[in-house]
Chains A and B, each alone.
Chain A
Amino acid sequence: MATEFTHLDELEAESIQILRETAASFERPVLMYSIGKDSTVLLHLAMKAFWPAKPPFPLLHVDTTWKFREMITFRDATAKRLGVDLRVHINQEGLAAGVNPFASGSKVHTDVMKTQGLRQALDQGRFDAAIGGARRDEEKSRAKERIFSFRDKHHRWDPKNQRPELWNVFNTRVHQGESIRVFPLSNWTELDVWLYIWKNRLPVVPLYLAKARPVVERDGALIMVDDDRLPLLPGEKVQTMKVRFRTLGCYPLSGAIESEAETLEAIIEEMLLAKTSERQGRLIDHDSSGSMEEKKREGYF
């Protein structure tokens, strides 16, 4: 008899309840699939929540065109393997205007290609609920988030205008044009996510595992040279180092860490000894203090 109900089982049951509420309460929900470890867990939970049916919503990836190539390969393979409806959105205006992380700076690039791109995609799809894999333990303003987080007509987050959220009874009502961001993994920690991946043997993007990769050192971070679009600054040179990534975003903006961890177990072991937070490698978080709260107000996930 399966009497052992672990804290991971409890988190899973809670997340599935949230996913089902979302599917039942909204007209056009969508799952924001960003390919990383959190998305991997989120997608697995969505498959489980509606089995034997497929999730009753599509997956959406907002592609900034600067993602690691391995991410894109993994994304397409995953959608195919699971037989789910994956949609990819690229901000074509941004692309035409030549926005990129170097010429425009990380801030403008993220704002145009990611935040604006996301808003475009949500508007075009007329999605009234966007499910994301953000966790409260990632960052201090996220720690204040609701599970069903209200956004106005302009996709803006107003921390003062959030609804009290009691028990697992969610207020899913919105007016035309308003929307809700849903975070089923709110109560998961980084360790919980890895543990779940390990326990369920879920495939992850190989970039999480250490391997010899070409990198340059820039502003104290190790940037992977994923293609020939990365302009080398004077004095920079490409070296091969054994590295892996704790979080995945646009490759020129994701700092790698030197590591020997080639297996999932080894990653977890390294994480247990880590002295810095997982988002530390995210260069965009550090543009200005209170940075995440501001980006969220503008509609960032």
Chain B
Amino acid sequence: MASPTSIPVMNEGERVDDYLRRYERNELLRFLTCGSVDDGKSTLIGRLLHDTGRIYEDHMAALEKDSKVHGTTGGGLDLALAVDGLKAEREQGITIDVAWRYFATARRSFIIADCPGHEQYTRNMATGASHCQLAISLIDARKGVTTQTRRHAFIASLLGIRHVVAAVNKMDIVGWSEERFRAIEREFVDFCARIGIPDPVAVPISALNGDNVVKRSEHTPWYSGSPVLELLEAVPVDRPSPDANFRMPVQFVLRPDLNFRGFAGQIAAGSVKPGDRVRILPSGKETRVRRIARAPEDGGDAPLAYAPQSVVLTFEDEVDCSRGDVIVCIGRDPAVTQRVECDLVWMQEQPLVRGQQLMLRVGAKQTACTVRRVRWLVDVDTLGTQPADTLRLNEIGRVELECEERVVVDGYRECHGTGALILVDRMTNATAGAGMVRLATEAGSKRAHWETEALATLERAEDKPSFVNAEERERRWQQKPRTILLYGPPGSGKTREAHEMERKFFDQGAAVVMLDGQAMRRGLSKDLGFSDEDRSENLRRAAEVARLLNDQGFVVILAMAAPDPEARERARELVGQDRWEARNMGAR
């Protein structure tokens, strides 16, 4: 008989010390469940706990009783009730708030966030995802990939999750059809490729009956992969790199007596040792680390500290440093700025509006801020973006904030500890939004060129107006200038469509110019390759040309791959909202 706790079993004759040392070294993996309502997320977690023996006898007895009263399984064991702990949840048979559960095997310790699938509680799913390294996306085999499946996968990727397992559930109801499974797998893998999740894995399961959850199922001889638990044990855990740029937000200044002044905080990235030169931001003062102070009973001062340790540092010099400051290594500085651009998940009933005042919190820093503008809203179904001036509950968009004080931030992709922020309503104190900082300078950002200011010595065109004005041009050409972008992957027919469109405009007597992405690459963009950045830059150049031509009164048709919604959005801003139109020619 295995022990009824989930924790790794003690070996025959193993001493407790040895066992504990073994258990202590277990790697910790945090994962969440996500997907549409009723796809079986809670049932899967209940099943995992049950089949690894994590449900104690007294809990099991209660579960059997509850299943008869609230169960959705006709009196049989309803494992979701092991997880759905709130009264309202049990009565309605749905998950409302994240449930945190814990279990361990001989290889790993797990922290699970079982998230709600209901659209109304999307913000709770985002909350769960912010703590996790892996997501299990549940998909009902009968329904396949739904909008909610996509929304959750997109939010997971936005929050930086790189590992996703698609658990195709309720395979028992579709007769264990391999064909059905493969179709769903294909669709999901394709979607993941579009949102930048590498190597998603799909598993056919029945959470209700336990097939391919802990044990391999005999119903799926055609499936050669691992059951869910094995995947969870095998996926590489992302550890913070000690070589990253050192960042430590100062939480607390310790001053027990006149001889000691220590700065307490949790290292957000990188590592530090005594003697290292560091800079304190936002002031920019430099000093050296003297000690990583630790009590004698903890082994005395440390020779090295690294993320995510909580430490106390002292400095060589009497520099000014207080809560909210960030200690960083000399080298690549974070941004020190009042203006912050971020991807924001809005979590409050009342919509976010331009000009709204909020409290912002990043690291240990708190400051008032104002919403300068909403740049765009993301349509999670199509992954497209659209102009917007508000964000409603559970919507995601790009916003620009103006802080009352300077804040020290990194791009979220580079460092979560200095790139994640929350916004708090000043009246109700509710947490109104969660943001991921986007910097023009961060690696992987395609904004560098879009945002580079033109040389200050160059005067802008409107400073010396042309002798021909816009109305005269309109009268001459009998048209309003505009730019139409046809975008989509190679083979989507965008160039052909663009030529046909050009012909039609021409036949109607319009002054029209067609610009093809490929043609651009032969000349204007021949220095560019096919990386994300270079594709983005190619679009920027096309948009700049289109703007110049629009200013001359021409209609412009662009045929480009333009896969990145952010780049398209910037092109729209560059050409001008009222002159811009984008059409997706993509097969998908």
Contact = CB atoms under 8 A, between A and B. Distances in A.
Given A49-B310, A186-B100, A187-B102, A272 B127 contact: no
B101 interface: yes
Contact of B264 (A20, A143, A175, A277): A20
A50 B262 CA distance: 10
B56 A280 contact: yes
A233 interface: no
A163 to B, nearest CB: 4
A175 B429 CA distance: 8
A164 B251 contact: no
Given A12-B310, A189-B102, A143 B24 contact: no
A9 interface: yes
Contacts of A142: 85
Contacts of A236: none
A169 B424 CA distance: 11
Contacts of B62: 289
Q: Interface range on chain B: under 10, 10 to 19, 20 to 34, or 35 or more?
A: 35 or more
Contacts of B588: none
A6 B23 CA distance: 9
Contacts of A166: 126-127, 130-131, 420, 422, 431, 434
Nearest to A24: B252
> How many of chain A's residues touch chain B, expressed as a range?
35 or more
B4 A187 contact: no
A141 B26 contact: no
B7 interface: yes
A198 interface: yes
A4 B130 contact: no
A125 interface: no
A48 interface: yes
B3 A273 contact: yes
A136 B102 contact: yes
Contacts of B98: 144
B99 interface: yes
Interface in A247-301: 265-266, 268-269, 271-277, 280, 289-290, 293
A13 B308 contact: yes
B416 interface: yes
Contacts of A198: 20
A198 B15 CA distance: 14
A53 B261 CA distance: 10
Given A52-B254, A277-B59, A169 B310 contact: no
Interface string B1-23: 00111010110000111011001
Interface in B290-335: 293-295, 298, 302-304, 306, 308-310, 312, 323
22 contacts: A5-B306, A7-B26, A14-B266, A20-B264, A24-B364, A52-B260, A136-B100, A144-B97, A144-B100, A160-B88, A162-B97, A164-B124, A165-B431, A166-B131, A167-B130, A167-B131, A167-B416, A171-B422, A272-B3, A272-B9, A274-B56, A289-B62
Interface of B: 3-5, 7, 9-10, 15-17, 19-20, 23-28, 56-59, 62, 66, 82-83, 85-88, 96-102, 104, 109, 111, 123-124, 126-127, 130-131, 251-252, 254-256, 260, 262, 264-266, 293-295, 298, 302-304, 306, 308-310, 312, 323, 347, 359, 361-364, 416-417, 420-422, 424, 429-431, 434
Q: Which 7 A-B pairs have the closest CB atoms?
A: A140-B85, A265-B16, A16-B310, A53-B256, A7-B28, A166-B130, A277-B56
Interface of A: 1-2, 4-14, 16-17, 20-21, 23-24, 48-54, 136-137, 139-145, 159-160, 162-171, 173-175, 186-187, 189, 191, 195, 198-199, 265-266, 268-269, 271-277, 280, 289-290, 293
